[in-house]
């Protein structure tokens, strides 16, 4: 039986999951592939650390050359994370004409173009299914299953930490800080959760979804991004009363003027399919011209789901290697990449949820409504707590669909009122024409 030898860069949770899947599913993999996959070396930071018994100690090394320079290793699996030293090591592997599999979303979103060019120059491939949504095969679906279709819109819950926190707040009424601590205790949030809760992780993943879906290279730093740290139990309860749940959505859509991308907390109608995504699960809704809507749902993180996606990429590369071993290179992917900048959010239109924090004094309701009107913001619904005069009031306003620039101008003026006690909380509402 043919054998493919691989090396791993990194043996953390995902690396352990990869080794476990290769061992436990060895017979199934050999039957489906017609070949065996053998791990020869695994790069680690320290040989002293206690590890899962699934990772054989004799395979471990602290010298990257044992993986990168071994001529028998044909596929290098990068599971280090971050930019460096991962970038240097991956470029080294590609430069030695080794195929690469990575789960590194930051690396691919930031330096993907350089890596694709080097892979193409060397006649090898780089696969990165595990970089988005863990075990959900969304990138493969975009690259292969929907390859003949025109992707028009991608909407995803792609960060399990944010979804876990918001779901906990919705189910239990917990404050953000308490829900975050619960997520950290459960292993769904890092000790420093900034990249997740501020939306940076989702922006990197959205950049990769746009690359596969639209064929456009979009810098994650250019994507308008807002985290979930300002979401309060009051907003969760108010949204519930209005018929919505709050979800952190990563959205990309094509327009005649160019792509529109964003990562924001959004009020999603309870009847919408994305409103039902619970806990740390991920889901991606794809809207394409021929297929219509298709949903991809599952665990978005964890050693086994992510490890499964990595092993699937390894198997796919093995098949390409067997097909093209006669001297022909693998099919070119991303040989031409269109650079694109997301359109500014300024003139994008949405319905909006506004919560204005004011002192309950005569005329304040009229002042807020008048200000909105002057800026061309039509009010669809307005609710106000009935409290004693002079006490703080949370005034909830639902606007009609209106351009961002008008909402921004109105909120800026309102926040300057003497009777406003805190910055207005504003969240977009999922567009009615995207519901069904």
pLDDT digit string, tens, across residues 91-109: 999 999 999 999 999 999 9
Q: Return mean pLDDT, the chain.
A: 91
pLDDT digit string, tens, across residues 178-188: 999 999 998 88
Task: Return the structure tokens found at 143.
Answer: 């690259």
What's the burial of 174, exposed, middle or buried (CB within 10 Å: 0-12/13-18/19+)?
Answer: middle
**Distance of alpha carbon 344 from the chain centroid:** 20
pLDDT digit string, tens, across residues 261-272: 999 999 999 999
268 shares its domain with 408: no
CATH number at residue 402: 3.30.70.260
pLDDT digit string, tens, across residues 194-225: 999 999 999 999 999 999 999 999 999 999 99
104 shares its domain with 173: no
Task: Return the structure tokens found at 209.
Answer: 């979804």
Backbone angles phi, psi at 373, to 5 degrees: -65, -40
User: How far is it, in rounded angstroms, from Cα 237 to Cα 228?
Assistant: 15
User: How far is it, in rounded angstroms, from Cα 424 to Cα 10?
Assistant: 45
Q: How confident is the model at residue 135 (pLDDT cuts 50, 70, 90)?
A: confident
**In Å, what is the CA distance from 297 to each residue of 280, 292, 381, 430?**
11, 17, 34, 19
Q: Which residue has the higher pLDDT, 299 or 269?
A: 269
Is the distance from CB of 197 to CB of 229 less than 8 angstroms?
yes
Final residue in a domain of this structure, among 277, 299, 321: 299
Residue 397: beta bridge partners?
Answer: 354, 382
User: How far is it, in rounded angstroms, from Cα 419 to Cα 186?
Assistant: 42
Question: Is it the case that residue 322 has pLDDT exceeding 60?
Answer: yes
29 shares its domain with 11: yes
Q: Report strand pairing: 420-429 vs 379-384.
A: unpaired
CATH number at residue 294: 3.30.360.10
pLDDT digit string, tens, across residues 233-280: 999 999 999 999 999 999 999 999 999 999 999 999 999 999 999 999
Question: Is it the case that residue 326 has pLDDT exceeding 60?
Answer: no
- 108: containing domain: 2-134+303-337
Q: Report strand pairing: 349-359 vs 420-429.
A: antiparallel
Question: Is it the case that residue 348 has pLDDT exceeding 80?
Answer: yes
Rounded mean pLDDT of 50-79? 90
Is the distance from CB of 142 to CB of 115 less than 8 angstroms?
no
Sheet of 99-102: strand order equals 60-61, 35-43, 2-9, 75-78, 99-102, 126-127
Please give the pLDDT value at position 436: 40
330 shares its domain with 372: no
Catalytic residue, candidates 105, 205, 247, 406: 205
> Known catalytic residue: 40?
no
Question: Is it the case that residue 58 has pLDDT exceeding 70?
Answer: yes
Q: How confident is the model at residue 393 (pLDDT cuts 50, 70, 90)?
A: confident
Total of domains in the chain:
3
User: How far is it, in rounded angstroms, from Cα 415 to Cα 410?
Assistant: 9
The pTM assigned to this predicted structure is: 0.91
């Amino acid at each position: 039986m043919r054998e493919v030898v691989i090396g791993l860069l990194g043996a953390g949770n995902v690396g352990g999951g990869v080794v476990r899947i290769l061992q436990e599913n060895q017979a199934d993999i050999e039957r489906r592939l017609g070949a065996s996959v053998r791990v020869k070396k695994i790069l680690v930071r320290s040989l002293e650390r206690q590890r899962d018994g699934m990772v054989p100690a004799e395979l471990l090394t602290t010298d990257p050359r044992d993986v990168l320079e071994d001529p028998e290793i044909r596929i290098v699996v990068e599971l280090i994370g971050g930019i460096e030293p991962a970038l240097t090591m991956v470029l080294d592997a590609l430069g030695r004409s080794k195929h690469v599999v990575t789960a590194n979303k930051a690396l691919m979103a930031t330096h993907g173009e350089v890596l694709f060019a080097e892979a193409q120059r060397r006649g090898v491939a780089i696969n990165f299914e595990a970089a988005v949504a863990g075990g959900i095969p969304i990138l493969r679906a975009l690259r292969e299953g929907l390859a003949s279709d025109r992707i028009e819109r991608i909407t995803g819950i792609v960060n399990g930490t944010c979804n876990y926190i918001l779901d906990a707040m919705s189910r239990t009424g917990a404050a953000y800080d308490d829900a975050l601590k619960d997520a950290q205790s459960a292993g769904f949030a890092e000790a420093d959760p900034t990249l997740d809760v501020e939306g940076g992780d989702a922006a990197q993943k959205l950049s990769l979804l746009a690359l596969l879906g639209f064929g456009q290279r979009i810098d994650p730093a250019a994507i308008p991004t807002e985290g979930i740290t300002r979401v309060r139990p009051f907003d969760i309860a108010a949204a519930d009363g209005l018929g919505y749940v709050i979800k952190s959505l990563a959205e990309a859509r094509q327009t005649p003027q160019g792509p529109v991308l964003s990562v924001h907390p959004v009020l999603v109608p309870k009847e919408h399919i994305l409103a039902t995504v619970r806990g740390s699960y991920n889901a991606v809704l794809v809207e394409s011209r021929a297929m219509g809507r298709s949903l991809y749902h599952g665990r978005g993180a964890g050693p086994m789901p992510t490890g499964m996606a990595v092993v699937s990429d390894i198997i796919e590369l093995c098949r390409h290697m067997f097909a093209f071993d006669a001297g022909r290179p693998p099919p070119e992917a991303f040989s031409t990449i269109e650079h694109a900048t997301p359109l500014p959010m300024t003139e994008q239109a949405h319905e909006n949820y506004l919560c204005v924090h004011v002192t309950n004094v005569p005329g304040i309701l009229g002042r807020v409504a008048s200000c909105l009107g002057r800026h061309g913001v039509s009010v669809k619904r307005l609710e106000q707590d009935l409290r004693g005069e002079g006490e703080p009031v949370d005034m909830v306003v639902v606007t009609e669909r209106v351009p961002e620039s008008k909402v921004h101008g109105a909120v800026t003026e309102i926040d300057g009122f003497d009777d406003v006690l805190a910055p207005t909380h504003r969240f977009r509402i999922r567009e009615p024409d995207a519901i069904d």
